[in-house]
Structure 1
Amino acid sequence: MTDDLFHIAHAEQWEKARAIGRYEQSTQGLSLGEVGFIHLSTSEQWPGVLERFYADVDDELVLLTIDPQRLSSPVRWEAPEGTDEQFPHLYGPLDAGAVTATRTL
């Protein structure tokens, strides 16, 4: 069994993505097309991501729980510039069917 992965999303963007079956937002204010991948996190990493990158967001946010076995695009573990910590990056759209739970943040 593979551990779940997580992504913080604006609730409105997630609802639109569910309607078309795929999510293509990379991170706060940037799309998959602009960045080249979707930022994901582990269960230990997402709280820090929320604090660092979404603290000033007034919109409703949701935490997406993702089953990596259901993804049709590859996940690569990479360290952002300036750190040794490895984060999962999804190189393609997030299939709505890979999201097993959502939680309002």
Structure 2
Amino acid sequence: MIYHVVPLAEWDADPDRPYAPASLAEDGFVHCSPDEETTLTVVNAFYRTAPRPLLALLLDEDRLTARCVWEAAVPGPPPGVAEGTLFPHVFGPVDREAVQRVLEVRWDEEGRAAGLS
């Protein structure tokens, strides 16, 4: 399973179509993370002010019709992620059938992502 972070309103915006976030048009791929720990680190680095609730989609790579490539973060991984960590990048829309679970980001008292439930 790989993880993708998305605000609930964005995920629900067009439920009858494959999911295509802005990053697909801007960067050419959908940003994903390899595991829960890395996902929470990414949330704390880039999504602390994102609209809530914030979700983590657990995607089954085998159910994606778009190509998924594991690559190094450019220019480097976010603070707290080990150098050399590879990130899954999905080069096309995410098939909703590939979403195996939808979890919500839990926040601590200091506004940091503390877990997924």
Q: Normalised by the shorter chain, which TM-score bucket?
A: 0.7 to 0.9
Unaligned runs of 5+ in 2: 77-83, 106-117
Aligned with 2:85: secondary structure? coil
> How many pairs were matched up?
97
- How far off is 1:75 after superposition? 0.5
Q: Give the CA RMSD over aligned residues.
A: 1.4
1:31-72 residue CA offsets vs partner (Å, 9 max, x unmatched):
311110000111132111111011122422111011111000
Unaligned runs of 5+ in 1: none
Contact 1:21 1:97 in 2 (8 A): no
1:61-105 residue CA offsets vs partner (Å, 9 max, x unmatched):
111011111000111111122333211100000001100110121
Aligned with 2:13: secondary structure? helix
Report the Cα distance in structure 2 between the residues aligned to 1:95 and 1:67, rounded to whole angstroms. 10
Aligned with 1:92: secondary structure? coil
Q: Where do 1:1-105 residues align within 5 Å?
A: 4-17=1-14, 19-25=15-21, 30-43=22-35, 44-83=37-76, 84-105=84-105
Larger Rg: 1 or 2? Answer: 2
Report the Cα distance in structure 2 between the residues aligned to 1:104 and 1:89, rounded to whole angstroms. 21
Report the Cα distance in structure 1 between the residues aligned to 2:59 and 2:31, rounded to whole angstroms. 12
TM-score (norm 2): 0.76
Aligned with 1:7: secondary structure? strand
TM-score (norm 1): 0.84
